[in-house]
Structure 1
Amino acid sequence: MTYECDGYTVHKHPPRAVVFPSCTQEVAAVVKYLHDQNIPFIPRGAGTGLSGGAVPLGGEVIISLVKMKRLLHVDYENRLAVVEPGFVNLKLTNSVAGKGYYYAPDPSSQYACTIGGNVGENAGGAHCLKYGVTTNHVLGLEVVLANGEIVEIGGVPDAPGYDLMGLITGSEGTLGIVTRITVRILKNPEGKKTVLAYFDSVEEASQAVSDIVAAGIIPAALEMMDKTAIEGVEAGTYPIGHPKEAEAVLLIEVDGIAAGIDDQIAKIVSVCQGRKVSAVKVAATEEERARWWANRKTAFPAMGSISPDYLVQDGVIPRSRLPEVLEKIRQISERSGLRIANVFHAGDGNLHPLILFDSRIPGETERAVRVGSEVLKVCADAGGSITGEHGVGIEKKEEMRYIFTDDELDAQLQIRSVFNPRNLLNPDKIFPKPGRCTEMRTAPVKTC
């Protein structure tokens, strides 16, 4: 029953079986057997995914990679590490911290999520504004294809040819099973400072976000929470005393050469003051900075303190459209009667509206799902996307039509058919079923 869903709990279906390989060869052997028997299967990491990508809708076999959790190699001279897919994200930073290095992608679930799962979803995190998402830090992959064949992708810097690593990263387990990952590690920055800024309106906070970037400052992280989100985190595990009257809070971090940090902080404070900030403060100690980040990074589970259930969305919009889109989300909340807490990576426009509901009330789960779709339509209409880092899975399959035409979806399905011709590998994910664009592709694809 543990494997009937992932972090997206709206749909639950038991798998036919769960298999625990401990090495690449075992993964390949299992896949080859399932392929030969025409049995569909799904790779799975820690199950922290939020779009239902690991849910076995049709009783597929789950191939759990949690036993493949070794740090295989660290090369400090060339600034890279090699890990198995079940290696937990935060453990990599902890493993290299003693030498003054860290791994940049930092999703909020980094204490539990695995790097293999991060590759599948192309996970981001609070610091992706400056450092990019998972695909920007993957140097090489070992992949088991849908027929059990083992292939090596990447590993050579700036290699010519198609970017197959970019194709696999973010493919949500539909093109292959990643069994070894070579990632980039970074040297710790010389200096780092963090600011908390409180505002009396969401609009002023949103404008401050654009003003900071327009001032030529690219923070390492630029996060925002609205009043409902603040209520949640203050009721959660790591309250830090956010003022109850605040309508929005920005958490801003800059890092880099120590000599320039204070100047950047002074500019950020000045920008916030120009947007009617009600209070602004700089973390005085590393301990205080860590508490601020713990408060932010536990925002999702903290919503359980103020609501029986919640549904996390993951839209992306142009940064300049923040005030307009947040107002439309507020209107959706008011119209639907469901509270929506906004917690998001404001610097790069990656929104995470949390729709609060009670599944014990008949019809309320379905209403929350409809509200989520409506929010994503607003993001798409603003020139954005339906996902920034959580993936499509089963949650957003139909919403793919908000941003892609039938022909564009058809082209993506043809790519999938090259790697996964029988659609045995994580079937019924990402792409909508109805319509011409979702026909099963079983015929060989001609090449030129």
Structure 2
Amino acid sequence: MKDKHIRSLERIVGGPSSILYKKEDLLPYDCDGFTLHKHLPKAVVFPKNTEEVSKLAKYCSDNKLPFLARGAGTGLSGGAIPLNGEVIISLTKMKKLLSIDFENRYAVVEPGFVNLKLTNLISDKGYYYAPDPSSQYCCTIGGNVAENAGGAHCLKYGVTTNHILGLEVVLPNGEIIEIGNNGIPDSLGYDLIGLLTGSEGTLGIVTKIIVRISKDPEAKQTVLAYFDSVADGSRAVADIISAGIIPVALEMMDKIAIEAVEAAAFPVGHPKDIEALLLIEVDGISAGIDEQINQILEVCKKRNVREVRAAQDEEERNKWWANRKTGFGAVGAISPDYLVQDGVIPPSKLPEVLSRINKISEQYGLRIANIFHAGDGNLHPLVLFDTRNPGEAEKALEAGSACLKVCADVGGTITGEHGVGIEKIQEMRFVFNEREIKAQTDIRDVFNPSNLLNAGKLFPE
């Protein structure tokens, strides 16, 4: 039976077809990509425009109903899990490309617009959208803004915040504000775009995004380098970066990760006995590509590279990238459950950190696969476990936390692109003291004074 709040929310979004409230309909919304915690929302509503989002936020605030925004639900840190029985404001119906300005190189999209769809729509004009998380075929740009998503090519081109020129935001009280200057970069005043991007839905609900679009590079080259030891591969990464070479992407996978991707949808024939591989891509003007590749190859040779393959055409390049980008999901082919971590370290510390992660694997008796953006030190240890075995899920969480502690200990941090959510909330104390945490929650309280919007996320209380 509908209570008064359900009836009121239903009226705001235009009828029963735009709201879910029965338990069986709410089950798909009890978690996001972090599946170790599950909580049912009070309801899920599907607004069609900013005005409806504003009215929903105002109603929830006025009636002291906790609420949160949700995109595609691909987040990996629990940021969209309704811990407090929230009303979920799903933005999936707000999925329009509102405008494109090729002359000034920006596009305006709604939050439910899928990341990869933007590149697909503008590629015939010679443009693309640079941030490319592995879930880009289904994740939404609104969700990317909330988490400050990165991707394989962020080494050279930066993460989401480097490509956001303006935002329309609904504050928790329903007020609508616009941040930015009509697509012009570097607006005057405080960097509110930077503050909102990566705030994990705790400050406001993004309802419109102005994104920078980029011109295709003149040329690009992609190579695979195979190593007989993880240590040699990781030292090659550190040497490439310290030599001042900036590839557009520098990805690494270890033997367990290679086993997974070769068992999944896009096998490419990696040697079965290889311990590590680097997927390296450079781009720029045609005249400089070969020189960059030759520099990288010289570094790899000094680190005992076994074999180097160059992509022969765009089809082979795309197959290699499909193999890499299915890495997380591919682990499901070799393990019933896995936990993805997301630490960041100085690239020079990579050999040391991978060695320590291997010891954590031995300590907890759980395999750990490593798939990561090696060039900018964004590690993704995947802890493999089986929830059918009593205590293994808890051990996986402890092992994941230990991996993040190692990252913090060497001068890194606990997340590069997946966010804190609820998964890493206690690990925030690895990098911030209580005074620093309070300074940040004080900022949250300016935007979200009643803490009704996505409460219990990002900061330990």
Fold match (TM-score > 0.5): yes
Aligned partner letter, 1:385: T
Of 390, 396, 399, the residue aligned with 1:368 is 396
Normalised to the residue count of structure 1, the TM-score between the two structures is 0.96
| Residues 1:137 and 2:173 aligned together | no
Using the alignment, how far apart are the partners of 2:379 and 2:185 within structure 1? 33
Q: Secondary structure at the match of 1:316?
A: coil
Using the alignment, how far apart are the partners of 1:385 and 1:210 within structure 2? 18
Using the alignment, how far apart are the partners of 2:173 and 2:283 within structure 1? 45
Using the alignment, how far apart are the partners of 2:343 and 2:364 within structure 1? 19
Using the alignment, how far apart are the partners of 1:316 and 1:367 within structure 2? 22
Deviations 1:301-357 (A, max 9, x none): 000000000000000000000000000000000110100000000000000000000
Aligned partner letter, 2:304: K
Aligned partner letter, 1:426: N
Counterpart residue number, 2:259: 231
Q: How far apart are 1:240 and its partner, in Å? A: 0.5
Counterpart residue number, 1:331: 359
Q: Secondary structure at the match of 1:315?
A: coil
Matches within 5 A, 1:388-407: 388-407=416-435
Q: Secondary structure at the match of 1:179?
A: strand
Q: Which runs of 4+ in 1 moved over 4 A?
A: none
Q: How far apart are 1:267 and its partner, in Å? A: 1.4
Deviations 1:140-174 (A, max 9, x none): 00000000000000124322211000000000000
Counterpart residue number, 2:186: 158
Counterpart residue number, 1:440: none
Matches within 5 A, 1:34-183: 34-155=60-181, 156-183=184-211
- Structure 1 stretch displaced more, 421-430 or 149-158: 149-158
Using the alignment, how far apart are the partners of 1:285 and 1:387 within structure 2? 34
Normalised to the residue count of structure 2, the TM-score between the two structures is 0.93
Deviations 1:377-429 (A, max 9, x none): 01000100000000000000100000001000000010000000000000000
Using the alignment, how far apart are the partners of 1:408 and 1:370 within structure 2? 25
Using the alignment, how far apart are the partners of 1:157 and 1:244 within structure 2? 48
Of 349, 369, 372, the residue aligned with 1:321 is 349
Q: How far apart are 1:214 and its partner, in Å? A: 2.5
Using the alignment, how far apart are the partners of 2:344 and 2:192 within structure 1? 24
Counterpart residue number, 2:277: 249
Q: How far apart are 1:277 and its partner, in Å? A: 0.3
| Residues 1:197 and 2:225 aligned together | yes
Counterpart residue number, 1:214: 242
Counterpart residue number, 1:419: 447
Using the alignment, how far apart are the partners of 1:198 and 1:359 within structure 2? 34
Counterpart residue number, 1:262: 290
Using the alignment, how far apart are the partners of 2:147 and 2:63 within structure 1? 28
Q: Secondary structure at the match of 1:268?
A: helix
Q: Secondary structure at the match of 1:351?
A: coil
Using the alignment, how far apart are the partners of 1:413 and 1:377 within structure 2? 23
Q: Secondary structure at the match of 1:2?
A: helix
**Conserved? CA contact 2:371–2:380, under 8 Å:** yes
Deviations 1:66-116 (A, max 9, x none): 000000000000000000000000000001101000000000000000000
**Conserved? CA contact 2:241–2:347, under 8 Å:** no
Of 369, 379, 391, the residue aligned with 1:341 is 369
Using the alignment, how far apart are the partners of 2:398 and 2:278 within structure 1? 29
Using the alignment, how far apart are the partners of 1:12 and 1:170 within structure 2? 23
Aligned partner letter, 2:28: T
**Conserved? CA contact 2:68–2:86, under 8 Å:** yes
In structure 2, stretches of 5+ residues that fail to align are 1-26
**RMSD of aligned residue pairs (Cα, Å):** 0.6
Deviations 1:265-309 (A, max 9, x none): 111112111110011111111111110000000000000000000
Counterpart residue number, 2:383: 355
Aligned partner letter, 1:221: A
Of 36, 47, 53, the residue aligned with 1:27 is 53
Using the alignment, how far apart are the partners of 1:58 and 1:202 within structure 2? 43
- Structure 1 stretch displaced more, 378-387 or 260-269: 260-269
Aligned partner letter, 2:110: E
Q: How far apart are 1:215 and its partner, in Å? A: 2.6
In structure 1, stretches of 5+ residues that fail to align are 434-448
Deviations 1:116-159 (A, max 9, x none): 00000000000000000000000000000000000000124322
Aligned partner letter, 1:70: K
Counterpart residue number, 1:437: none
Q: How far apart are 1:54 and its partner, in Å? A: 0.2
Counterpart residue number, 1:438: none
Aligned partner letter, 2:276: A
Using the alignment, how far apart are the partners of 1:160 and 1:236 within structure 2? 48
Using the alignment, how far apart are the partners of 1:2 and 1:97 within structure 2? 34
